[in-house]
Amino acid sequence: MLELFIFLYQFADAFALLTLSAAGLMIIFGMMGVINMAHGELMMIGAFGAARGFQAGLPLPLAILAGGLAATLVGLILERLVVRHFYGRLLYSLVATWGLSLILSQGALIVLGPSTQGIESNFGNFLVGDLSFSIYRIVLFGIAVGVIAGLWALFRFTTFGLQARATMSNADMAKALGIDTARIYMLTFGLGAFLAGTAGALFSLAAPVQPSFGASYTPIAFVVVVVAGSRNIIVGLTLAVVMLALVKTAVTINLNILGGYVAMLVMALLVIRFSPNGVADWLQKARSLIKKPSTGR
Amino acid sequence: MDWNRRSIIKASGALALSASSLPLFGRMASASENPIKIGVIDDASGDFAAAVIPKTQGAQLAVDEINAAGGVLGRPLQLIAYDGQSDVRRHQEFAQRAILEDEVSVLMAGYTSSEREAARAVAVENKTIFWHNNQGEGGIADNYSFFTGPIPEQQILPGVEYMVKKYGKKIYVLAADYGFGQVSAQWVQASAGMNGAEIVGLEFIPLGNSEFSSSITNIQKAKPDFLFLLLVGSNQSQYFPQAMAAGLKIPAISSVNLQQGYEHKLFAPPTLENLYVPAPFLEELSDTNPNAKKFVTAIRGKYPDMPYVNECARCAYIAVNMMALAWAKAGTSETDATIAALQSGLSFDGPDGMVSLDPATHHTAMDMRMFQVQADHSIKVVADLGRVEPWWLKRLGVDLTAKAESRQYLPTDDPELAKYLK
């Protein structure tokens, strides 16, 4: 029973980590076909924003929001100045945003200094048997589920969501129908930056806030996006995160931390081998295979 | 608009120039006053930057003080700093550049053991004096290599002995998964054996890992009396807030954390409460120790924004001063004569008292203290571990004054230690 709880707790922990790290990257990649290499640095800006906001006396939720907004602001500026010139050009965007990431992290080292004090996490802990667990990790899991649900609702029910989905499936046609696709792209990039910044702010409660902050999260965010693919943002993200978190948790508990990472990478490798466009693409194909006989009749 | 663009081009040109200007100015200066050049490769960016930036500052302070007092042999000292970028390859490249192009008289490089070995290999190959300036896993016997940081027989052995007496015999070890962490973990195992203690858990953590919830659960299941932490880099230091959030309240000791990464300044109290640190120096020593007070005042006067005066600053400061003493004694900056001077029994009254360079092993004897982190993250000296010599290599028969060597000894090379290793 205790073992089952440990598994669920660590699965929830991995689920939150993967979802929050990857959501911003996923949105931008899924919508615009741009791999945002500066994703980790946007997280870092969110973390610094939250820590500095908290030090200045903001209550915790507002400090986290401040971090998210700081990253959004920086993200929008980057989008207008640089990124918008590279939409749909994967390799160009890769190099351009990588350059931005170097400038941002080194700029942060010069402007913000090598480190700042993080935020005190006073959420407390709870006991199961004689083992104690962190409440904040459960809170993070709740927020991660909320992010996925919120994104789904945003794309499903709002005008922005409708226009965004139209732009994603056929940008030229959407433009011809009068949708301001440049604006949609800008807003989507801003949303991605906001998610990255908020994730950074949330993680800053348990991490040293430093210019290299994002480097801890970028690799796993990339693995999630590779596994998810760009076919369907919400389904892809959820499926990829659940699969990776399951594998990581199972192997970490039974072997060790390194094994957990290796298992995630092996998983990503298998997905790329058998479904190069990600799990969402595979799911869609599988569904159409199942549907075909019924439509045939 | 045109003016703007031109000024941007100018600014970027200036930036490019400043990036490469240090060695450039080095050559210009050498023509006029022939300085003695000290090359330092420290991580000014990347995962280790927060801990390593003070190292360059400690070296610079020593250079400035020596130059203000007239230099050495009538020549000024010149510090040439390269950013190692927390990257092993950069350390190798810059070591070559420092020695072959910039012709430094001494190279001080490497934070992690892997960075150190990358740079040290280049120095040894080119017969250049090399210093490593933070604590390490020890065991290196090499004619060209010198060490200011404490080593296992000065930290881990007395540390484990102290903790076993105070808390009990069950130890859980979390160690960074690379050279330093693995060798240090062997030392912890051997020290446990020598003190009749037992290792109830040993986990190696990949460098760059920042997720510890599985380790925290494992620790709670194993119920150790205390933890031995060998966590490296800012990612791994995320262990502390995560353990705190999970309510893990087991006393811990670390031979590397806090004294380098000042985690007690990065995390809100009481995250590090009850962490023990066996070390010669922490900034807080300046509250009670006049030497430390003098050093901290001087370096903070020069760098008011320093987040913490850590072990790296202390070690680099001592290394530059030792070199100055050696050059003065040798009467030249020529390598062989300088090594002979370094092997003549030099001592320097440094930030934590007298530090003596052992001629036989090229490591230093120093005054060791046991520091304890309080609930408000203030630091208390809870035990005086006394003056500890670097004795282990000598027990293995190393004497660099008599016999040239270039190798690293491991705990498995010593039967007295190996018998405790599985």
Average pLDDT over residues A253-263: 92
pLDDT, one tens digit per residue, over A54-90 is 989 999 999 999 999 999 999 999 999 999 888 878 8
Consecutive 10-residue averages of pLDDT for chain B (422 residues): 43 42 42 82 88 96 97 96 94 97 97 95 97 96 97 96 97 94 96 96 90 92 96 86 90 95 89 95 96 97 95 98 97 96 96 97 97 96 96 96 94 94 82
Mutate to test the interface with A, among B53, B57, B177, B210 (most CBs of A within 10 A): B210
Q: What is the pLDDT of residue B25?
A: 43
- Closest CA–CA distance from residue A17 to any residue of chain B (Å): 9
Asked if residue B75 and residue B13 are part of one domain, the reply reads yes
H/E run at residue B406: strand B406-408
Q: What is the pLDDT of residue A274?
A: 87
Q: What is the pLDDT of residue B22?
A: 44
The CATH number for A138's domain is 1.10.3470
- Residue A151, pLDDT > 60, answer yes
Taking contacts as CB-CB distances below 8 angstroms, the residues of chain A near B247 are 124-125, 127, 132-134
Asked if residue B339 and residue B320 are part of one domain, the reply reads yes
Tokens representing B255 are: 């031979």
CB B210 within 8 A of CB B238: yes
Tokens representing A187 are: 């807003």
* R_g over Cα of chain A: 20
Q: Is the predicted ipTM greater than 0.90, yes or no?
A: no
Number of CB pairs, chain A paired with chain B, less than 8 A apart: 121
Handedness of CA B56, B58, B60, B66 (dihedral sign): negative
Taking contacts as CB-CB distances below 8 angstroms, the residues of chain B near A16 are none
Name the domain count of chain B: 2
State the DSSP string of A46-70: HHHHHHHHHHTT--HHHHHHHHHHH
Cβ partners under 8 Å of residue A269, min gap 6: none
Q: What is the pLDDT of residue B14?
A: 42
Handedness of CA B334, B335, B340, B346 (dihedral sign): positive
Question: Could you give the CA distance from residue B58 to residue B61 in angstroms, rounded to a whole number?
Answer: 5
Asked if residue B263 and residue B243 are part of one domain, the reply reads yes
The structure tokens 């990255």 sit at A196
Question: Could you give the CA distance from residue A234 to residue A240 in angstroms, rounded to a whole number?
Answer: 10
By residue range, what is the domain housing residue A227?
2-296
Tokens representing A275 are: 């479904």
For residue B98, report the phi and psi dihedrals to the nearest 5 degrees: -60, -45
Mutate to test the interface with A, among B177, B211, B242, B257 (most CBs of A within 10 A): B211
Q: Please report whether residue B388 resides in a domain.
A: no
- Residue A156, pLDDT > 60, answer yes
- Residue A247, pLDDT > 80, answer yes
State the DSSP string of B324-340: HHHHHHHTS--HHHHHH
Q: Which residue in the set A136, A211, A257 is minimally distant from B245, CB to CB?
A: A136
Cβ partners under 8 Å of residue B291, min gap 6: B349, B350, B351, B352, B353
CB A70 within 8 A of CB A46: yes
Taking contacts as CB-CB distances below 8 angstroms, the residues of chain B near A118 are 241, 266-268
Tokens representing A114 are: 């090598």
The number of beta carbons lying within 10 Å of the beta carbon of residue B210 is 23
Taking contacts as CB-CB distances below 8 angstroms, the residues of chain B near A208 are 50, 234, 237-238, 261, 263, 266-267
CB B276 within 8 A of CB B251: yes
Q: What is the pLDDT of residue A286?
A: 78
Asked if residue B301 and residue B213 are part of one domain, the reply reads no
Average pLDDT over residues A160-165: 91
By residue range, what is the domain housing residue B75?
2-151+289-366+394-412
Question: Could you give the CA distance from residue A276 to residue A291 in angstroms, rounded to a whole number?
Answer: 22
**Model confidence at A297, in pLDDT bands (50, 70, 90)?**
very low
Higher pLDDT, A191 or A123: A191
**Model confidence at A291, in pLDDT bands (50, 70, 90)?**
low
Q: Which of B172, B108, B114, B118 lies closest to B312, judged by CA?
A: B108
Q: Please report whether residue B382 resides in a domain.
A: no
Q: Which residue in the set B213, B215, B238 is minimally distant from A207, CB to CB?
A: B238
Asked if residue B200 and residue B121 are part of one domain, the reply reads no
Question: Could you give the CA distance from residue A241 to residue B298 in angstroms, rounded to a whole number?
Answer: 52
Question: Could you give the CA distance from residue B218 to residue B234 in angstroms, rounded to a whole number?
Answer: 22
- Strand positions, DSSP E, A99-157: 125-128, 131-134
Q: Which residue in the set A114, A123, A212 is minimally distant from B307, CB to CB?
A: A114
Q: Which residue in the set A120, A135, A212 is minimally distant from B47, CB to CB?
A: A212
Q: Please report whether residue B372 resides in a domain.
A: no
A residues 168-227 near B, CB within 8 Å?
Answer: 205-212, 215-216
Asked if B238 lies within 8 A of A257 by C-beta distance, the reply is: no
Asked if residue B131 and residue B245 are part of one domain, the reply reads no
**Model confidence at A184, in pLDDT bands (50, 70, 90)?**
very high
Helix (H, G, I), strand (E, B) or coil at B383: strand
Higher pLDDT, A277 or B66: B66
Q: Please report whether residue B212 resides in a domain.
A: yes
The CATH number for B268's domain is 3.40.50.2300
- Closest CA–CA distance from residue B239 to any residue of chain A (Å): 8
Within A1-134, where are the H helices?
2-32, 39-55, 60-81, 90-112
Name the domain count of chain A: 1
Asked if residue B295 and residue B279 are part of one domain, the reply reads no
Asked if B215 lies within 8 A of A106 by C-beta distance, the reply is: no
Average pLDDT over residues A7-27: 95
Cβ partners under 8 Å of residue A130, min gap 6: B220
Asked if residue B282 and residue B202 are part of one domain, the reply reads yes
pLDDT, one tens digit per residue, over A120-149 is 767 888 888 888 898 999 999 999 999 999
Asked if residue B144 and residue B115 are part of one domain, the reply reads yes
Q: What is the largest CA-CA distance in chain B?
A: 76
H/E run at residue B129: strand B129-132
Q: Please report whether residue B374 resides in a domain.
A: no
Asked if A257 lies within 8 A of B214 by C-beta distance, the reply is: yes
If phi over 0 gives left and psi between -120 and 50 gives alpha, with beta otherwise, what is residue B255?
alpha
Asked if A114 lies within 8 A of B49 by C-beta distance, the reply is: yes
- Measured between CA atoms, the residue of chain B closest to residue A136 is B245
Query: Taking the model in full, what pTM does it have?
Result: 0.84
For residue B351, report the phi and psi dihedrals to the nearest 5 degrees: -60, -20
Q: Which residue in the set A6, A210, A252 is minimally distant from B234, CB to CB?
A: A210
